Amino acid sequence: MNRICVVTSKAVTYYVIVSRMKKAGLPFSSVLPGAGHEDCILIITSAREAGQFGGRALALEDLDENPGVFKGQLLSRLNGGGDVVLIGIDPGTRIGLAVFYGETSLEYSTFGSAAKLSLRVGAFVRGVPAKRFVIRIGNGNPAMVAKLIESLRLEASNAVIEMVDESGTSVRRVRMRGIQGDQGAAAKIAFRKGEVVSPRNPRIHA
């Protein structure tokens, strides 16, 4: 497994990096400055110290504060940005969101409006280098789907947007630790191939 190391002489920087790593749920090793770091595939440090480690280093200042985007940035760096970011959306009064880098989960969350969800999706699309971005939206709420597509076209213009048949995605009877029902449904939608929508596709209109 690729090894991520935190290497910095700055106490505040170390605390911030470790805090973000824990929130992102990524395993890492702490290495003292000056100690051997030959086994480190990726080194997280400060901008001032990054030059010591060449192409293996990522500076804290260049990484996003959002744990999911942060995690995606690190995973992308480890594999050269070669995976697809899959984004599943379960539309409704409560809008479920699930984001994956390849098959690795980056975020599960719930939003109360299309605008707020689209801003979060845009943060992933702008912040995580990837082969491509695919946004898949369940078709269960046509009015909300129309709002989502309109908003997502502005915030994630370079992503492919697909509409997915969401039948069978309900997870009300399935217990997933820490994951709400709408988030679990969004995860299933993310991995279900859909139909690419276009401005003339009548399905996107309420």
Q: What is the pLDDT of residue 38?
A: 83
For 52-103, where are the E strands, in sequence order?
57-59, 84-90, 95-101
Please give the model's pTM, rounded to 2 decimal places: 0.87
Return the minimum-mean-pLDDT range out of 73-77, 126-130, 166-170. 166-170
What is the model's pLDDT at position 3?
A: 87
pLDDT of residue 168: 65
205, HSE (Cβ side, Cα atoms, 13 Å): 4
CATH number of 84-204: 3.30.420.140
Strand partners, 57: 43
User: Please, which pLDDT band fits residue 174 given cuts at 50, 70 and 90?
Assistant: very low
Can you name the residues that pair with 134 across neighbouring β-strands?
86, 160
Across 109-140, b (16+ Cβ under 10 Å) vs e yields: bbbeebeebbebbbbbbebbebeebbbbbbbb
Backbone angles phi, psi at 22, to 5 degrees: -65, -40
**Average pLDDT of span 71-92:** 94
Whole-number pLDDT of residue 74: 96
Reported confidence tier of residue 205, pLDDT bands at 50, 70, 90: very low
Model confidence at 176: pLDDT above 90: no
DSSP letter (8 states) at residue 52: G
Alpha-carbon span 181 to 199, nearest angstrom: 30
Give residues with Cβ within 8 angstroms of 116, minimum separation 6.
none
CA distance 93 to 89: 12
Tell me the mean pLDDT in the region 127-155: 93
Residue 179 has a pLDDT of 67
Condensed to tens digits (0 to 9), the pLDDT of residues 29-64 reads 999 888 888 889 999 999 999 999 888 999 999 999
DSSP string covering 155-178:
H-TTSEEEEE--TT---TTS--TT
Q: What are phi and psi of 96, to 5 degrees?
A: -85, 140
